[in-house]
Structure 1
Amino acid sequence: MACKTPELNYMFVDNTTDVPEALAEINRHSLLAVHCKGFKLGSRRSGELTLITVATQTKSFIFDVLTLGQCVFDDGLGAILEDKTKEKLMFNCRRDADNLFHQQKVQLTGVLDLQLLEFMFSKREVPKSEEKSRRSSRTGEVQLLKGFRQCIEMYVKDEVIIEVRLRCQRQVLGDSHVWKTRPLSENLKKYCCVDASALFTLYINLQQDGKDHSRLVIASDRYVDTFRCLPDITQGLCVFNPFLPLDIIPEAGDSFEFPEASTKCIGCLRLFPADEFPKAQLRNKQRFCRVCAEVKSIFSKAFGIDLITQGKTRFVQAKPRR
């Protein structure tokens, strides 16, 4: 099923006979946009990816994963998502990459994450007074990321995209099963289409003539692996939060190197240099990186309880971004 208007051009692929045509068209392009929808995506790997939109700059292809099943990945979509030579515009790719890897056995590569690009574009910097102090005391490096809707409103400013998203927002937020319901309404198909196509406009407005492209590639490679590299995201304090993870975006320069890391945070389970943690935490082995410490503090103030209860860590999840 296809729809074509001056603003929207998409093909809804829910039949195996349409898959080869869609994949052939996608394969002609080296720059794509990818956006996933589903039921409780990222929720302890118990969610379900039901739709994946892969867009070129002129057309979006909405693959009905719920109907097509694993065969759509085995028949060629998986190879496209794993092809590093095809750059894929995404926004906060971590949950999508985790679900694709652990449920569809697809290792997503070639991502250019626009949530990171927006952070680089806005040129938020660490306060100069903190540059040479111990990492654990440099709390100014814990910074918020902008969400997808906020970036669309700030940088895309497309009335059609904003109107389509507003029209469907109440339905999407009010029904957790909306992406599992079939047949899928035309409004929701348009919603998938504009979410993917908006990534191209966002990229054009943020890329600054490509001067930060190499940094973005390195940062996105680290970002895409943040969740999927964990054996079990229910273990430890696996936090879905609005802060930029530490040591994801390399400093500007020639080397793009990151500090040697060998000490694990018991929250996010990532490795950091030892001075990421206060000396007292290193002694008692209750090590929280600065991001997890900030989330822990916010959670404790908001709910009046500690994230550590009788030696067990709680799972914290922000509201879904979809």
Structure 2
Amino acid sequence: MIYTKICQTNELDNFTSNDFSELAVDIEGDNLSRHGKIFTIQVYAPSIDTFYLFDCKTLSYSDVRLALNNVFSSNSVIKYFFDCRSDVDALYHQYNIELKNVLDVQLFEVGFRKCSGSGNSRYYSGLYKTLNTYSYDVGITSSELAVKNKISQQFKSKNYDIDLNDQDVLKYLAIDVVYLKKLYDLFFMKIGHGKIFRSIQIETQKRMEIWKKAHFVNDRSNAISAI
């Protein structure tokens, strides 16, 4: 996999010069929402096995919009997210970017459990639990899971910050997007285009319109499945 860090205006072309059909996306921040801070935006392009890391602490508002608005708001480019709610809220209110054509892998995971009759499908799973559960299917290693868990715990500390010179942090940020398409493919193979798929579509649309709400807090009450 190719790692491409984008920290300044003259590096934007490394991303914008490409023609993408699908991207996996995640955002890292403190209190990620319309009110919090966005530190990084991670984008993985499966077709060219390239990971793009946008450093929002050094890039300007116009830099981020120039690089990402067209693809993120395009109906012709698929975007894989894992629980897009906070990302939707943050992107719209901080960068005036409205996401379109999103496949929320968290919804497909609970739909997969419902179709398979495997486990309780009342609650959504987080990404770490999902990667751990389906590690064999998507090929994630135990060392990658260990890094994911270690940095997750580090980020939960009160002095939240992100060090892009830390190799484990970079691995963590990549892990959050690299396996999303593989997870989606696994879940969709079981779900198909039936009733559960339609339920996922409806719930995804609700998530994509969260930015319209007067207030949004992504707390534990949002862990109950609507699928």
TM-score (norm 1): 0.60
Instruction: Name whichever of 116-125 and 90-99 sits farther off.
Output: 116-125
- Higher RCO (C-alpha 8 Å, min separation 6): 2
Is the counterpart of residue 51 in structure 1 residue 40 in structure 2? yes
In our comparison, the structure showing a higher alpha carbon Rg is 1
Q: CA deviation at 1:166?
A: 3.0
> Residue 143 of structure 1 is aligned with which of 94, 105, 122?
122
- Contact 1:161/1:198, CA 8 A, preserved across alignment: no
Show CA shifts across 1:126-162 (max 9, x none): xxxxxxxxxxxxxxxx921111111111113411531
Q: CA deviation at 1:102?
A: 1.0
**What is the rounded CA distance, in whole Å, between the counterparts of 1:174 and 1:209 in structure 2?**
38
Task: Return closer, same or farther for 1:111/1:66 CA change in 2, 3 Å cut-off.
Answer: same
Q: Which amino acid aligns with 2:63?
A: V
| Secondary structure at 2:52 match in 1 | strand
| Secondary structure at 2:17 match in 1 | helix
- Contact 2:88/2:207, CA 8 A, preserved across alignment: no
> Superposed, which structure 2 residues align to 1:235-246 within 5 Å?
240-245=221-226
CA-based RMSD: 2.6
Unaligned stretches of 5+ in structure 1?
1-7, 126-141, 250-322
> Superposed, which structure 2 residues align to 1:67-216 within 5 Å?
67-123=58-114, 143-157=122-136, 158-159=140-141, 160-179=143-162, 184-208=165-189, 211-212=192-193, 215=198, 216=200
**Identity over the aligned pairs, expressed in percent?**
23
- Contact 1:89/1:111, CA 8 A, preserved across alignment: yes
**What is the rounded CA distance, in whole Å, between the counterparts of 1:118 and 1:145 in structure 2?**
8
Is the counterpart of residue 19 in structure 1 residue 3 in structure 2? no
Task: Return closer, same or farther for 1:156/1:203 CA change in 2, 3 Å cut-off.
Answer: farther
**What is the rounded CA distance, in whole Å, between the counterparts of 1:105 and 1:165 in structure 2?**
30
**What is the rounded CA distance, in whole Å, between the counterparts of 2:50 and 2:133 in structure 1?**
24
Unaligned stretches of 5+ in structure 2?
none
**What is the rounded CA distance, in whole Å, between the counterparts of 1:80 and 1:172 in structure 2?**
29
> Residue 231 of structure 1 is aligned with which of 195, 214, 224?
214
Give the paired residue count.
214
**What is the rounded CA distance, in whole Å, between the counterparts of 1:171 and 1:233 in structure 2?**
25
> Residue 206 of structure 2 is aligned with which of 222, 236, 248?
222
Show CA shifts across 1:220-277 (max 9, x none): 222222x31212337xx987531124xxx5xxxxxxxxxxxxxxxxxxxxxxxxxxxx
Task: Return closer, same or farther for 1:147/1:166 CA change in 2, 3 Å cut-off.
Answer: closer
Q: CA deviation at 1:197?
A: 0.2
Where does residue 37 of structure 1 map in the other structure?
Answer: 28
Instruction: Name whichever of 82-91 and 212-221 sits farther off.
Output: 212-221
**What is the rounded CA distance, in whole Å, between the counterparts of 2:216 and 2:204 in structure 1?**
20
- Contact 1:53/1:62, CA 8 A, preserved across alignment: yes
Q: Which amino acid aligns with 1:151?
A: T
- Contact 1:40/1:176, CA 8 A, preserved across alignment: no
**What is the rounded CA distance, in whole Å, between the counterparts of 1:200 and 1:10 in structure 2?**
18
TM-score (norm 2): 0.83
**What is the rounded CA distance, in whole Å, between the counterparts of 1:10 and 1:194 in structure 2?**
12
Q: Which structure's residues are more often helix, by fraction? A: 2
Q: CA deviation at 1:210?
A: 7.1
